[in-house]
Amino acid sequence: MSLEEQQAGERIESIQEMVSSVPGWLELNEGATLYELARFLAPVPTIVELGSWKGKSTCVLASAIKDRGEGKVHAVDLWNWKPGKRQTHTDEVFDEFKLNLEKHGLTEYVETIRMRTVDASRKWRISNPIGLLFIDASHRYAAVRADFEYWSPMVAVGGYIAFHDVDTWPGPTRLVAELPKWFVKVETEGLWVCRKVMEGT
């Protein structure tokens, strides 16, 4: 193992310990994959996260951008979901999300976009290509498909899309089996990841 790889591994371990107190469903190997994609592999340092909840994965991605020394994480969510409830109309979840970023010194690396994911895609500047798109909002098939169809054209050639909960939720599992040929699967730990190898036709 090279010194750089060792240092990266130690950094990932420290980030995982840091975010261990943040509620969420991100496994250790999934967090490591997100960090490596955002810091080392994304061809441009523009990261879009669809579905952030209380910020566990957001903190990992923002830490990668901080370490990379450039870029921004664009976190898209309504922040209105609580376990056991369909939605909440208070700012409780959003406030906790912001507090988690602030507590770990990551606020400046994150832009929050509080709207539905498809609506946010319509406002995204096509001139701002995405290096990594993390799809982790609604897991219903129609919603996952809409997130992919509306956001994937903005991913740069050479950029990545990571899907959460493939093989455990039917929506994302079905969607990744239907991806067009210009997205090629990349072997990673935990997350299902593909790379955009050319523009769609």
**What's domain 3-196's architecture?**
3-Layer(aba) Sandwich (3.40)
- Is the pLDDT at 94 greater than 80, yes or no? yes
Which 3-state string (H, E, C) describes the chain? CCHHHHHHHHHHHHHHHHHHHCCCCCCHHHHHHHHHHHHHHCCCCEEEEECCCCCHHHHHHHHHHHHHCCCEEEEECCCCCECCECCCCCCHHHHHHHHHHHHCCCHHHEEEECCCHHHHHHHCCCCCCEEEEEECCCCCHHHHHHHHHHHHHHEEEEEEEEECCCCCCHHHHHHHCCCCCCEEEECCCCCEEEEECCCCC
Q: Residues 94-111: what's their mean pLDDT?
A: 96
- Is the pLDDT at 84 greater than 80, yes or no? no
Identify the CA nearest to 132 among candidates 61, 84, 197: 61
What mean pLDDT value characterizes the chain? 91
- Is the pLDDT at 68 greater than 70, yes or no? yes
Confidence of residue 178 (pLDDT cuts 50, 70, 90): very high
- Is the pLDDT at 90 greater than 80, yes or no? no
Q: Residues 137-156: what's their mean pLDDT?
A: 96
User: pTM to 2 decimals?
Assistant: 0.91
Sequence-ordered list of residues with C-beta below 8 angstroms from that of 90, at least 6 positions apart, any chain: none
